[in-house]
Structure 1
Amino acid sequence: MDMLFFDDIDKLGRIVLTAVLVYILIVIITKVSGKRSTSQLNNFDWVVTVMIGSLGASTILLENIPFIEGASSIIVLYVLQFLVTKYASISPQFSNVILSEPRIVFYQGQFLPEAMRAERLTRQELECAMRADGVRSFNDIEAIVFESDAKLTIITKPDSQPMTDTVSETLAPLTD
């Protein structure tokens, strides 16, 4: 109970200094590694990101992990992430192994219960994605796809009325 709020100024100094160094390291490596490391994450990217966060926290808080060892492990994960994603971008077979395939969960007015069950999705989650995209009715939707990054993509039906008629009717009063 003695160390509930404060233990030792040396430990505190080490934590502050290590936190600054780990922060700088992660910012630099993330910048160098590109948008992929901070974009919509698929399962594989998410696991690596969590591991990097855990290694960063361990390096900051645990005295028995020197900064160089923690930094090395973080750098190795970033390099492995780069190599795996690079290879996945050129090898469809490898990509299929590490990434999940998109799955249609709603198509032409029908919920696909087996697909929804397999992805553990509810009707409420599909409705939430619809609202986020400004779609009001399932009647306006051709399909809903559950993407490999766990995002729901709403594909709306094509308009039955040609766009040119709508545009000309809207602009007609302006040209008079």
Structure 2
Amino acid sequence: MQIISTIDAVKVIALTVVCYISIVIILRASGKRTLSKMNAFDFIVTIALGSVLATTIVNYKNAFWNGMLTFTMLVVCQHVATWLSVRSDTVSQLLKSEPALLYYNNAFQNKTMKKERVDKNELKQAIRKAGYVSFEGVSAIILEADGNLTVMSKREERNLRKKDFVFIDE
């Protein structure tokens, strides 16, 4: 087994950082849906994105050492990004998204659903997973920042406001 050369290591580090920044920009621009697991297609796309990123970064000789260095650099980049996001509101807003209200008070929020690329059938699937057979017992459905759908029951009948599902620093 040959150890990676200094030049190759610098190339992998630079490429990893550039790929990491690019993928964050691409994923933020494409929205929460890109990495969600709402259906089989979404899951396959998530796996393919990871495979493409890995192939792009590690397509060198000495694949083992490049792979180890790439893995380490991605972990370091993620650590730095999360460290910055808890210390800077600007970085946090760039890296994280807010939940989106898709259904509320017996009404689909069509504008938000289009923006988030979620259709009514996916909301029906979410309510079935939550144990409902219709929207009758549902007061709200929220697309969370991680791409999951949260179904809120009418039993918790109250006035749902943005501050009820988004943390607001007071």
User: Does TM-score exceed 0.5, indicating one fold?
Assistant: yes
Counterparts of 1:104 and 1:137 in 2: how far apart (Å)? Answer: 18
Match of 2:72 among 51, 70, 75: 75
Counterparts of 2:70 and 2:124 in 1: how far apart (Å)? Answer: 42
Residue equivalent to 1:99 = 96
Shift of 1:51: 4.7
Structure 2: give runs of 5+ residues left out of the alignment: 2-30, 36-45, 158-170
Matched, 1:155 2:126: no
State how 1:1-176 maps to structure 2 within 5 Å.
Answer: 50-51=49-50, 54-55=53-54, 59=58, 64-158=61-155
Structure-2 change in CA distance of 1:58 and 1:101 (3 Å): closer
CA deviations 1:71-126 (Å, max 9, x no partner) are 11221111111111232234333211112221101011100110111111111000
SS of alignment partner, residue 67 of structure 1: helix
SS of alignment partner, residue 155 of structure 2: coil
Specify the code of the residue in structure 2 equivalent to 1:108: N
Structure-2 change in CA distance of 1:124 and 1:67 (3 Å): same
Specify the code of the residue in structure 1 equivalent to 2:64: F
Structure-2 change in CA distance of 1:92 and 1:157 (3 Å): farther
Structure-2 change in CA distance of 1:159 and 1:147 (3 Å): closer
CA deviations 1:25-64 (Å, max 9, x no partner) are xxxxxxxxxxxxxxxxx95xx58x94587437975xx562
Q: Is this contact kept in 2: 1:145–1:154, CA < 8 A? A: yes
Shift of 1:66: 4.1
Counterparts of 2:56 and 2:110 in 1: how far apart (Å)? Answer: 41
Specify the code of the residue in structure 2 equivalent to 1:71: M
Q: Which has the higher contact order (CA 8 A, sep 6+)?
A: 2
Using the size of structure 1 for normalisation, the TM-score is: 0.55
Counterparts of 1:51 and 1:159 in 2: how far apart (Å)? Answer: 39
Specify the code of the residue in structure 2 equivalent to 1:105: L
Counterparts of 1:125 and 1:54 in 2: how far apart (Å)? Answer: 28
Shift of 1:156: 0.8
Q: Is this contact kept in 1: 2:60–2:66, CA < 8 A? A: no
Specify the code of the residue in structure 2 equivalent to 1:112: Q
